[in-house]
Structure 1
Amino acid sequence: MAKVKDPLDLQVAFRFLRGLKRNNDRTWFHAHREAWDEHIRHGWEDMVTMLMLAGAQVDDRLAHADPRACLFRIANDTRFHKQRDPYKPWLSAWMSPGGKNGAFAGYYIHLAPGATHFSAGIYVPVKPALHALRSAFAEDGKDARAFDRILAARVMQPYLPLDTEPLRVTPRGFPKQHRRLPLIRARNYLVRRDVPDRELLDRGA
């Protein structure tokens, strides 16, 4: 079977992102604008579209999502953060029904030399959703026990913990002693896989 060509040339993208990291200013970016527009921006959008089409086979919510609404801009908003670099030296997207600004669980891709990773779950959920999740874990119902079995599976261990910055104290209204205390104190519920550059570039070779 013929190999399907990736829509984004990762060698070209990584070369551009390394240069941007070393020269994070508007002068450099505008001097390399043609490379961004012709070789990276559209290829990145096509890659995210391809990933969402594949993901829709197991999560049909993605079938109706707009890939363009899932892409984060490479330019930083510096209006209220004057010390912030003008650009992000990475490509990223949050693939979910509501796009990058939605409140739904989804899939995050972060593409950067030496720092590529994929995540899945819910990040900084809105207060009602976070309270509902914590309540489900505290009540010890059928869904919570099913979640226990998923987290205990050997295949899941490399992608845990779900939250690397949980609350130090138990949120008000929840028991201070509970076998799911890490889940009750969590602020995010995400699994994550780091991907070495070699793995990505060998795939695209």
Structure 2
Amino acid sequence: MQEVLNFLSELKVNNNKEWFDQNRKRYEESRKKVLFLTELIIHEINKFDPEIGNQNPKDCVFRIFRDVRFSPDKTPYKINMGSFIAKGGRKSVGAGYYLHIEPGGSFVGGGAYCPPADSLKALRTEIFDHPEEFKNLINSNSFRTMYPEMYDDKLKTAPKGFPKDFPEIDLLKYKSYAFTSRISDSDVSGDAFVGKIIAAFKELSPVNRFLNTAIEKWL
């Protein structure tokens, strides 16, 4: 994957259409590598989480083109490549597995990132009903070693509809139930990259199962 890192590094300092058009072949080759990697990962995930099914990698890999309509940043291209593997592909509202390749900022992870309001309420309801089960999943030694922290975007007060005196109210304040684990550039370009990704995703799979069960139960 070193070629992908090299392309993205150069794109970061040449984020314009003229340079991109001149290097379109390199982009297409990089995208093919990410698609192939995603296909391998899908196959491996199915061994421990068959619920995701046989996804088409093209439905999981994100476009490199930025939506600049409502952004003050008008640079046209993302400086990363990634894929979200879940039932329904990258547009899924359920929990899944995310791969992010960016020079100096690569990571793996997943869960439910910024779910829509109804899904978020379902997740909070399930955690409210089964707080110990969820805590045991995210606080196990192996999980905390791989994913030290949950994505920290929280409400300042208890979410509407839940009692403020609930002992685990802090768990219900999260707006996402997502986790990340950093990966170095040397890991991305190394021979053990796929194995590291799969190990991280396998560790995440019980949490994803809890989250997806909640969404299926309450929606």
TM-score (norm 1): 0.86
Structure 1 residue 116 corresponds to structure 2 residue 106: yes
**Any conservation in 2 of the 1:118–1:192 contact (CA below 8 Å)?**
yes
- For residues 25-174 of structure 1, the aligned pairs below 5 Å read 25-37=16-28, 39-81=29-71, 83-139=73-129, 141=130, 144-158=131-145, 159-174=147-162
The CA deviation at 1:35 is 1.5
- Give, in whole Å, the separation in 2 of the partners of 1:177 and 1:83: 42
- Counterpart amino acid of 1:188? S
CA distance in 2, matches of 1:171, 1:196: 37
Residues 2 and 188, structure 2, Cα contact 8 Å, conserved in 1: no
How many residue pairs are counted as aligned between the two chains?
A: 192
Larger RCO, structure (CA 8 Å, separation 6 or more): 2
CA RMSD for the aligned pairs?
1.8
Aligned twin of 1:11: 2
Structure 2 distance, partners of 1:191, 1:178, is 24
Secondary structure in 2 aligned to 1:64?
A: coil
What SS does structure 2 have at the residue aligned with 1:118?
A: strand
Question: Where do 5+ consecutive residues of structure 2 fail to align?
Answer: 194-219
Q: Which amino acid aligns with 2:59?
A: A
Deviation at 1:56, TM superposition (A): 0.8
Which of the pair has more CA radius of gyration? 1
Provide the secondary structure at the position in 1 that maps to 2:149: coil
Partner of 1:6: none
Q: Equivalents in 1 of 2:33, 2:62: separation in Å?
A: 14
User: Where does 1:181-200 land on structure 2 (aligned, <5 Å)?
Assistant: 181-200=169-188
Identity of aligned residues (%): 26
* 1:23-78: CA deviation from partner (whole Å, max 9, x where unpaired): 100011011112222x2121111111111111111111222322211111011122
> CA–CA distance in 1 between the matches of 2:163 and 2:121?
13
| In structure 1, C-alpha distance between the alignment counterparts of 2:72 and 2:153, rounded to whole Å | 27
Tell me the distance in 2 between the aligned counterparts of 1:16 and 1:201. 13
Structure 1: give runs of 5+ residues left out of the alignment.
Answer: 1-9
Shift of 1:203: 2.5
Separation (CA, whole Å) in 2 of partners of 1:128 and 1:204: 39
Distance 1:160 1:188 in 2: 15
Compute the TM-score of the two structures, normalised by the length of structure 2: 0.81
